[in-house]
Structure 1
Amino acid sequence: MDYICSKIRLPRIISDGMVLQRNTEVKVWGWAPAGEAVTVCFMSKVYHACADANGEWFVILEAAEAGGPYNMDIESAQSGEKLTVRNILLGDVWLCSGQSNMEMKMDSLKDTYPEEISSCSNDSIRHFCIPVRYDFENPQKDLEAGSWESANPEKILDFTGVGYFFALKLFEKYRIPIGLINASLGGSPAEAWLSENALKEFPEHYEAAKQLSNRAYLYKVLSEDQASTEAWYADLNKKDRGIENSNTSWKTIKVPSYWEDEGLGNFNGVVWFRKEINIPFNPANKSARLVLGNIVDEDIAYINDVEIGTTPNQYISRKYNIQDGLLKEGKNTILLRVVNTSGKGGFYKEKPYQLEIGDSIIDLVGEWQCVIGAKSSPMPPQAFVQWRPLGLYNGMLAPVTNYALKGFTWYQGEANTKNPGEYESLLKGLISDWRQKWNMGELPFLYVQLPNFMEASETPVESDWAQVREAQRRTLSVSGTAMAVAIDLGEWNDIHPVNKKDVGNRLALAAIKTVYGDETVVAFGPMYKSHRIEGSKIIISFTDTGSGLVVKNGEHPGAFAIAGADGVYVRVNAELIGDDVAVWSEAISHPVYVRYGWADNPADANLYNREGLPASPFTTE
């Protein structure tokens, strides 16, 4: 963009490389001195506006077909000063929002999708990442930073992984430009993305937002949070004995494990880990990295007494590049300083722990040595102000509500499992709120149901994660919504599963059928429709059976449970009867309720349609 104009200013989102929504009127807006006349020239048409008393102006562009690239000229009628927005495409624009699984960048998926990244070259898929910002006082009018980027091996690393694969599938089918606006933040609950008016339906969240709108109170919370955190670390670092006297104090421990489970003690603080390895060849001039799965919570890694990397939290996989010349043939030493702030400290199980040198891999799973550096009480709870109600809507969404969209994609819910009972209302409220703010009618809202996570369960259990999934399923009663089921795409030991391609593809299937109107595609897996009781059996019917129900990995459907009037669930026998499922148990002669996949991580949720899409968990209560 040529910023040669001193009087006219555009919002960040209206900038070089942007994708404008096709086939609808599009608002272009900005700021200028009050009373300033502004002319916008686009696709051989001229539009006129005048800045109001607040210095705000806008024009409405006529609807146009997909295509480009085009330039847009914005000019001051009085001074003749002009700026130009270049390389504009018309296509479909989707807002991608939620928490960390939507935020997760392709950079974090380099090991999972190396070919997709290296071969990526598509100027028709573009991405705008909204920087993280919160505000509890007023909806912001503009973003602090951000730019439109095209998909190529370098820039794609900053794309949302789910969003990119969603866009790629749509582009491959329709061959039109796809623009992604990514407004997401790890750990954020749904209420952080609601506007002030929408929050009034949730008094507790509304009061929290109003409290933080007092700047003095907000600064007090932030300063106290910072002070307590800094004091905790200062005390810990002062007490940390490091590896002094280590020749006599090292103990043997298994990696991966949690040190409490290995008998080291139940405490928070610092533990040092050491492992000596033998490299039976000369590693010079070979690429090398240390892969350490996930560590709870923080670590600093050393090779032969040289620091090679550090990671601040447990949710990031450790993959440390090792500089050439640091490794040597023969004995080498790996040293880790692990800080645990709360809960159990140690290493995620069933993750890769290895030293990679060229094409060779040295397995690091097994016995390590450890020594306690310092014991401490848990870190004082942090305020996490950025996750509080209203803040993210004001800071990240409000500035782009004028920008025309095709629809929304949403991947969130993990942060609301602490209070799952309110999630259905929150999600329905969010959908209504966003549609009102964008004022484009019933914009499509596509979302991801929570995947499987934590220890697998083969017996009926109560589950906050299952309750959120049910809330998500029930939100399908809102018109213009569609849900991608991901109950088979999670990882038991990681809240951030790396299979983002299938998630994006399932969202795209939902869009192809419900938004683009392709009735020939099977876009969803089996969805609970109804049930009837026949004696001691419950017969369950489904929609979206595709070309038929199938059982994957087993002879009979699993993960079903039934209960009588007392609500006590037991696992059941189950069999397919055409496109229905019959369930029963000798322990319950008068069944009333039925559940499927009701657990954090249901071990045998194996009901699919023949198109390979899984059934959604559900309860009939």
Structure 2
Amino acid sequence: MKLSSLISEGMVLQRETTNTIWGKEAKGDVTVTLLDGAKELAKVKGTASDDGSFELQLPEMKAGGPYVLEIKDDLSKIVLNEVCVGDVFLLAGQSNMEIPVSRTLDLERKTVSKIHNELIRHFEVPKTPRFDGPTEDIYEGIWKKATQENLYPFSAVGFFFAELVNKNQGVPVGLIQTAVGGIQIEALIPEEKLLKEGERLIKEAVARGEDPDTDDLVFPNHYGKFSYKKLIDFDKDEEKVKARIAEDERRTAEHLKKIDEGDIGVTGDFAKRTTLFDEGETPQYISVPGRWENLKENGFLENLRGSVWVLKRFEVPDEYVGKEARLVLGTIIDADETYINGVEIGRTEYRYPPRRYPIPVGILKKQNTLVVRIKIFARAGGFVDAMPYYVDLLDDHFIPLVGKYEFKVGVNVNPNPDKAENFPDGTFFMFRPCGMYNNMIHPLRRMSLKGMLFYQGESNTMYYNEYDSLMRLMASSIRECFNNPQLKMAFVELPYYGEEDDERGSGNWDKLRLAQEKARNIPDSVLVDIYDLGFRYELHPQNKRAVAERLYREFSKLLYS
């Protein structure tokens, strides 16, 4: 007998409704029993189908636990411990829902370090797309309790929301995490429905005089109303997908090799220097933070694609020499390798994560040299404004690292200084239509839920005109998938971000918000405004507790009124 990984030790069942227990390869009669010690709380019996599959419905139960769930057939028995009954929430969307608790520690370190709550459970669905049809079940993943050992990879928005549910409602909480960074909403809609919607959108576009023959396969990570069928047909062809992935990997490796082999900082061992300049050279300096697109005195940096080295010296008080510390380097565009006194203390391969690197014991001296190698793939590089830059000495003492840095170009692989030629972009198949619905949503359909939290839209801002109808279609599709037409949903409206004015204007993010506003009247849902919680230069703000508080304030009225 085999069970879905969702039906496993530590799971949370939804209170006050029926719950399906399912499996396969069972023999004969199947009995499912929920036990509180020796006391039977619920018991159901049935018979496995000829193919060994079974589905049994546990009756409605009040919140409680932990309990023991026994599943027995004619030949075997499976015992699942630590099963609770409470409220179960589906988490969906992209990176701002996915971002883990570990990415909030600038704000939450002391609070999170004290958390131990075994009544909050988190299940992360494996992140793999599928394009040839829906997956029936999943057999990877486990339920984890909110302990210090497990907590830090949990969805931050989901966890802080669960804390409020647990505190205010007094029930265990289960979180099923399906969010994937960067996905567009079309990835969460089933094929048949999306193709039908695409046909409707094409007719509307033609009526507006737009060209229906746009081929967005040229831009493999973005697709609009004309490309759904083309992309789906392409993605169903395994040989084409394998060839595309191989070509992407080849181009990426070739480009990175060109940067590494041509970088004078690699051959000259800049990482171990105390200055980037040889005797007789005139030092050049740059201010941190700052994007290099506005660097008038060194304007070539705006179009540089390759690598730049920067260096700063700093002094540490005697009592901290040799001690453990932490380097906080804001956010860097794009990748970085970071060294202190010639020792690499961290690296990040893309632009979005905050740079937070532990400085091990024995690294810090009285006089120290920080060297950062920055690799620039697309757009102007630099250190993002309005971010923290300092050495944290771990006892509320900080050494600021803003100000003047030496800088030197390692290599420029862009042959045209007057025009940027970006790093060859890869094909992110996880973002493509229907793939995440097929493999991350459909296999969950037998689970009973209290509600869904949805935070997405950033990757659809290029195609805001369609978002209203796609948001409605996504909501109705998920409700149909879970056979729950009244499944309650909370949608997070995009916050302030980017090159907008402080007041709401007419940028793409604003237009996407307007589309979200149009969907406000989706039945049994709330739209949560977090505009004021955004930051101009931070796509992934750390203030996820504030987002969760806003979510709970609005959603609880619908859930628990």
In structure 2, list runs of 5 or more residues that go unmatched.
Answer: 199-226, 269-275, 415-421
Residue 456 of structure 1 deviates from its aligned partner by 4.6
Question: Aligned-pair distance for 1:47?
Answer: 2.4
Q: 1:68 aligns with which of 65, 68, 74?
A: 65
Q: Which moved more, 1:68-77 or 1:20-29?
A: 68-77
Query: If each structure's helix is expressed as a fraction of its own residues, which one has the higher value?
Result: 2
Distance in 1, matches of 2:382 and 2:138, equals 39
CA–CA distance in structure 1, aligned partners of residues 189 and 560 of structure 2: 27
Name 1:173's counterpart in structure 2: 168
| CA shift for structure 1 position 143 | 2.9
Within the alignment, does 1:401 sit opposite 2:445 as a pair? yes
CA positional deviation for 1:282? 4.2
Equivalences for residues 237-276 of structure 1 within 5 A: 237-242=260-265, 244=268, 246-247=277-278, 248=281, 250-262=283-295, 263-264=297-298, 265=300, 266-276=303-313
Which one-letter code corresponds to 1:139 in the other structure?
Answer: P
For residues 302-331 of structure 1, give each alpha carbon's deviation from its aligned partner in whole angstroms, at most 9, with x where no partner exists: 1111111101111111111111111111x2
Deviation at 1:218, TM superposition (A): 1.1
Does 2:373 match 1:337?
A: yes
In structure 2, what is the Cα distance between the partners aligned to 1:470 and 1:287?
48
For the pair 1:130 / 2:130, whether they are aligned, the reply is no
**Structure-1 residue corresponding to 2:32:** 40
CA gap 1:167/1:280 in 2 versus in 1, 3 angstroms: closer
**Letter matched to residue 261 of structure 1:** N
Preserved contact between residue 222 and residue 385 of structure 1 (Cα < 8 Å): no
Q: Give the CA RMSD over aligned residues.
A: 1.8
**Residues 579-594 of structure 1 mapped to structure 2, 5 A cutoff:** none
The aligned residue for residue 216 of structure 2 is none
Contact persistence 1:282–1:328 (CA under 8 A): no
Whole-Å Cα distance in 2 between the matches of residues 171 and 246 of structure 1? 58
Q: Is the 8 A contact 1:136 1:394 kept in 2?
A: yes
* d(CA) in 2 for partners of 1:202, 1:259: 42
Unpaired runs of 5+ residues, structure 1, are: 1-7, 518-621
Q: Cα–Cα, structure 1 residues 304 and 144, in superposed 2: closer, same or farther, change >3 Å? A: farther
Q: What corresponds to 1:540 in structure 2?
A: none
1:26 is aligned, of 3, 10, 19, to 19
Query: Take 1:380 and 1:54, find their aligned partners in 2: how far apart are those partners?
Result: 48
Q: 1:462 to 1:441 in 2, by over 3 A?
A: closer
* 2:235 equivalent to 1:212: yes
Alignment check: 8 A CA contact 1:294 1:351 kept: yes
Work out the CA distance in 2 between the residues paired with 1:73 and 1:460: 55
1:191 aligns with 2:186: yes
1:49 maps to what in 2?
Answer: 46
Contact 1:117 1:152 in 2 (8 A): no
- Give the corresponding residue for 2:384: 348
Secondary structure (helix, strand or coil) at the match of 2:443 reads helix
Preserved CA contact (<8 Å) 1:206 1:389 = no
CA distance in 1, matches of 2:121, 2:546: 20
Post-superposition Cα deviations, 1:546-581, rounded to whole Å, max 9, x if no partner, equal xxxxxxxxxxxxxxxxxxxxxxxxxxxxxxxxxxxx
Structure 1 residues 217-261: Cα deviation after superposition (integer angstroms, max 9, x where no partner): 111111111111111111111111116383126411111122342
The equivalent position to 1:466 in structure 2, one of 504, 510, 513, is 510
Give the letter aligned to residue 9 of structure 2.
D
What is the CA-CA distance between 1:178 and the residue it aligns to? Answer: 1.3
1:434 aligns with 2:474: no
Query: How far apart are the structure 2 equivalents of 1:460 and 1:13?
Result: 43
Aligned to 1:310: 347
Match of 1:368 in 2: 405
DSSP 3-state at the match of 2:292: coil
Aligned counterparts of 1:420 and 1:357: Cα–Cα separation in 2: 45
Higher strand share: 1
Q: Distance in 2 between matches of 1:431 and 1:479?
A: 10
Name the SS of the counterpart of 1:112 in structure 2: helix
CA shift digits 1:88-137 (9 cap, x unpaired): 11111110111011001111112211233123222222111112111111
Q: 2:323–2:364: 8 Å Cα contact kept in structure 1? A: no
Percent of pairs with identical residues:
33
Partner Cα distance (1:96, 1:111) in 2 = 23
Find the residue that maps to 1:155 and give its secondary structure: coil
Displacement of 1:153 in angstroms is 3.0
Query: Equivalent residue for 1:292?
Result: 329
Displacement of 1:491: 0.9
Q: 2:134 aligns with which of 139, 144, 147?
A: 139
- 1:15 counterpart = 2:8: yes
Q: 1:290 to 1:114 in 2, by over 3 A?
A: closer
Matched, 1:200 2:195: yes
> 1-side partners of 2:331 and 2:131: how far apart?
34
Pairwise CA distance, 1:54: 4.2
Question: Are positions 1:420 and 2:420 aligned together?
Answer: no
Residue by residue over 1:146-197, the C-alpha shift from the partner in whole angstroms, topping out at 9 and shown as x without a partner, is 2112222332212211111211112222111111111111111111111222
In 1, distance between residues paired with 2:237 and 2:309?
43
Secondary structure (helix, strand or coil) at the match of 2:121 reads: strand
Please tell me whether the aligned partners of residues 41 and 74 of structure 1 are also in contact (alpha carbons under 8 angstroms): yes
CA contact (8 A) 1:102 1:410 kept: yes
SS of the counterpart of 2:554?
helix
- Tell me if structure 1 keeps the 8 A contact 2:11–2:84: yes
| Aligned mates of 1:494, 1:369 — CA distance in 2 | 25
3-state SS of 1:439 partner: coil
Contact kept in structure 2, 1:189 and 1:387, CA below 8 Å: yes
In 2, the alpha carbon distance for the partners of 1:164 and 1:344 equals 35
Aligned residue for 1:455, secondary structure, equals: coil
Give 2:487's aligned amino acid: L
The equivalent of 2:533 in structure 1 is: 489
Encode CA deviations 1:240-298: one digit per residue, 9 max, x unaligned. Answer: 11163831264111111223422331211100111122224242453311111000000
Query: 1:320 maps to what in 2?
Result: 357
CA-CA distance at 1:459 after TM superposition: 6.9
AA at the equivalent of 2:315: N
> Aligned pairs, how many?
506
Q: Distance in 1 between matches of 2:162 and 2:293?
A: 44
TM-score, normalization by structure 2: 0.87
Structure 1 position 59 matched with structure 2 position 45: no
- Aligned partners of 2:31 and 2:44 also within 8 Å: yes
Residue 444 of structure 1 deviates from its aligned partner by 0.4
For residues 460 and 488 of structure 1, do their structure 2 counterparts lie closer, same or farther at Cα, with a shift above 3 Å needed?
closer
Superposed displacement of residue 56, structure 1: 2.1
RCO higher in structure (CA 8 A, sep ≥6):
2
- The answer to whether the 8 Å contact 1:286/1:358 transfers is no
Question: CA, structure 1 residues 410+458, in 2 after alignment: closer, same or farther (shift >3 Å)?
Answer: closer
CA contact (8 A) 2:326 2:394 kept: no
